[in-house]
């Protein structure tokens, strides 16, 4: 089924000054606005949900996953998006979503979509459609390459209450804003026509669109020219290096620590039952000896990484390197999907809920799932199409998602939950994430909304070719640390990282947070330094 949604644009500036930049905030120097009727998609989504359990003889149903075509004109180009529901490209088919106590959550993911721009080769579009409004990212290739981001306007503007005009001519003053009642109005068709309403919003748009070229870094001068937005300054690097090189030898204990409710048997079964080798998460194996791997030369070639990751069971290859093969020829790993454990903390929950017009926990979880999906999709777009240290085709799949809500930091839990402290620096925050057993996953990340000092946006443990611990699939084991002149042993997982969505009291745009995540994951592979 083809659903066509027309996008109508309302510009803040007249045609006489159409080329004048229209800044959105300190990060985005120009934007345009979107307004269209979201009801056709809302209705189609409800039809697809009703059709989900109705299949034909070929186990298909025409309405179960319809194709949505979205026509728009923006920034001087025509874009016709072709989108379909797409969950499996970022979430594992046996994905577990849980709350802060490890209890399973039911979260709708059918609003997550991906596709392309019609008649634009190598284009891409992905994101989510919630309440009939598309939010996401568009990679356009015609007339030239450009990337556009679409966000909800209520992240930047506070809409006012609107009047609802009933068919009988009367006016109902609504305490709700435009975004709250879009879905309710679309569903009013199930009632008598006398209750059907039209809405006239005081804010004449629900989304903003801007080009990647118009995203600015206003805090560039405040950061270290060496460290940038990464939290690994000289002091932090020294601490991380000391931990990474202090692993207790012959420690074969895989996890007599707190394991955050990870179910190893379930995870193992899920991996082994996968029939798609290309999408299978990288399997953990006992770390092989690193004595024969020389990584002392900082300018070592890609073969050091290939041998190390292959020896450790992190990556396997279709074939051994040929002596006649040029260094520019990339290898395609057969097991190239890295399984992720993503945890979102209470600080991010509070921020998302603040900007959700419908304050229900269900809607907040949907928005957080959309946020995670868009970031993993963006990272996959980078790693699947790029060559790092002569390795290409890497992919990341979320295997477990933990969404911590405000209850995780209520008074009776706060003193036992160190993540609730408002004053944690970036290295200690990473350390907290690392103190849990993440053996079931290739990487474990926390998404937060904490304003770390120095403009820090992320931090992760760095992989090494010299035998030091850290990076993808690193084992949960014991490390020795000097605290107050005393040697203390602590178990850690160094296959971890963190990113934040706020910088100098300003929410960072998706372009920045997506690149931050890709950069920190690069540290886990030692693709970035």
Check 32, 358, 367, 520 and give the catalytic one: 520
520 tagged catalytic: yes
Reading across the β-sheet that carries 207-211, which strands appear in turn?
2-6, 67-74, 77-85, 112-117, 124-130, 133-140, 146-152, 207-211, 32-34
- Using a 10 angstrom Cβ sphere, with 0-12 exposed, 13-18 middle and 19 or more buried, the burial of residue 32 is buried
Q: Read off the tokens for 141.
A: 């290739």
What's the CA gap between 382 and 392, in Å, rounded? 10
- What are the angstrom distances between the C-alpha of 131 and each of 161, 178, 201, 453? 18, 11, 16, 37
124 φ/ψ angles, rounded to the nearest 5 degrees: -155, 145
What's the CA gap between 71 and 8, in Å, rounded? 9
Bridge partners, residue 69, by sequence = 4, 82
What's the CA gap between 46 and 39, in Å, rounded? 11
Residue spans of beta strands (DSSP E) within 157-242: 161-166, 171-177, 197-200, 207-211
Find out whether 357 and 417 touch, Cβ atoms under 8 Å.
no
Find out whether 406 and 351 touch, Cβ atoms under 8 Å.
no
Cα Rg for the chain, rounded, in angstroms? 25
The sign of the torsion formed by the CA atoms of 182, 186, 187, 190 equals positive
Find out whether 378 and 514 touch, Cβ atoms under 8 Å.
yes
What's the CA gap between 158 and 142, in Å, rounded? 34
Q: Read off the tokens for 499.
A: 């990113």
List b or e across 102-113, with b for residues whose CB sees 16 or more CB atoms inside 10 angstroms.
eeebeeebbbbb
Residues assigned a catalytic role = 520
């Amino acid at each position: 089924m083809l659903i066509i949604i027309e996008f109508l644009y309302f510009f803040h500036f007249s045609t006489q000054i159409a080329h004048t930049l229209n800044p959105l905030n300190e990060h985005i120097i120009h934007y345009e606005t979107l307004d269209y009727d979201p009801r056709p998609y809302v209705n189609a989504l409800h039809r697809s949900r009703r059709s989900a359990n109705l299949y034909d003889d070929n186990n298909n149903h025409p309405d179960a996953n319809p194709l949505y075509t979205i026509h728009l004109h923006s920034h001087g180009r025509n874009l016709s998006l072709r989108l379909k529901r797409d969950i499996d490209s970022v979430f594992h088919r046996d994905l577990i979503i849980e709350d802060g106590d490890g209890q399973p959550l039911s979260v709708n993911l059918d609003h997550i979509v991906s596709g392309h721009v019609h008649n634009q080769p190598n284009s891409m579009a992905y994101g989510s459609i919630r309440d009939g409004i598309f939010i996401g990212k568009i990679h356009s290739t015609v007339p030239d390459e450009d990337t556009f981001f679409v966000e909800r306007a209520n992240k930047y503007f506070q809409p006012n209450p609107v009047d609802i005009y009933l068919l009988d001519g009367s006016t109902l003053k609504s305490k709700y804003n435009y975004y709250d009642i879009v879905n309710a109005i679309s569903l009013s068709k199930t009632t008598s026509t006398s209750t059907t309403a039209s809405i006239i919003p005081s804010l004449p748009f629900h989304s903003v669109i801007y080009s990647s070229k118009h995203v600015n870094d206003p805090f560039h001068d405040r950061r270290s020219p060496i460290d940038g937005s990464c939290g690994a300054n000289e002091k932090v690097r020294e601490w991380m290096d000391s931990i990474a090189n202090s692993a207790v030898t012959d420690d074969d204990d895989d996890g007599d620590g707190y394991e955050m409710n990870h179910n190893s048997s379930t995870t193992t079964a899920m991996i082994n039952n996968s029939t798609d080798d290309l999408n299978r998460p990288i399997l953990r194996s006992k770390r092989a000896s690193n004595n024969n791997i020389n990584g002392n030369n900082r300018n070592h070639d890609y073969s050091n990484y290939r041998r190390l990751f292959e020896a450790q069971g992190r990556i396997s290859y279709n074939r051994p390197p040929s002596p006649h093969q040029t260094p520019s020829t990339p290898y395609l790993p057969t097991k190239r999907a890295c399984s992720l454990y993503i945890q979102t903390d209470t600080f991010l929950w509070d921020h998302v809920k603040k900007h959700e017009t419908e304050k229900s926990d269900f809607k907040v979880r949907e928005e957080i799932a959309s946020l995670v999906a868009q970031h993993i999709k963006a990272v996959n777009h980078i790693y699947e199409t790029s060559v790092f240290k002569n390795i290409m085709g890497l992919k990341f799949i979320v295997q477990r998602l933990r969404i911590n809500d405000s209850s995780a930091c209520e008074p009776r839990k706060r003193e036992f939950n160190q993540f609730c402290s408002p004053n944690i620096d970036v290295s200690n925050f990473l350390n907290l994430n690392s103190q849990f057993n993440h053996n079931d996953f290739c990487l474990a990340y926390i998404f937060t909304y904490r304003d770390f000092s120095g403009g820090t946006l992320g931090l992760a443990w760095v992989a090494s070719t010299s035998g030091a611990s850290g990076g993808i699939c690193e084992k949960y084991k014991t490390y020795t640390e000097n605290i107050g002149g005393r040697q203390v042993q602590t178990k850690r997982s160094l296959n971890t990282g963190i990113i934040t969505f706020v910088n100098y009291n300003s929410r960072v745009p998706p372009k920045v947070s997506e690149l931050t995540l890709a950069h920190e994951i690069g540290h886990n592979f030692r693709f970035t330094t």
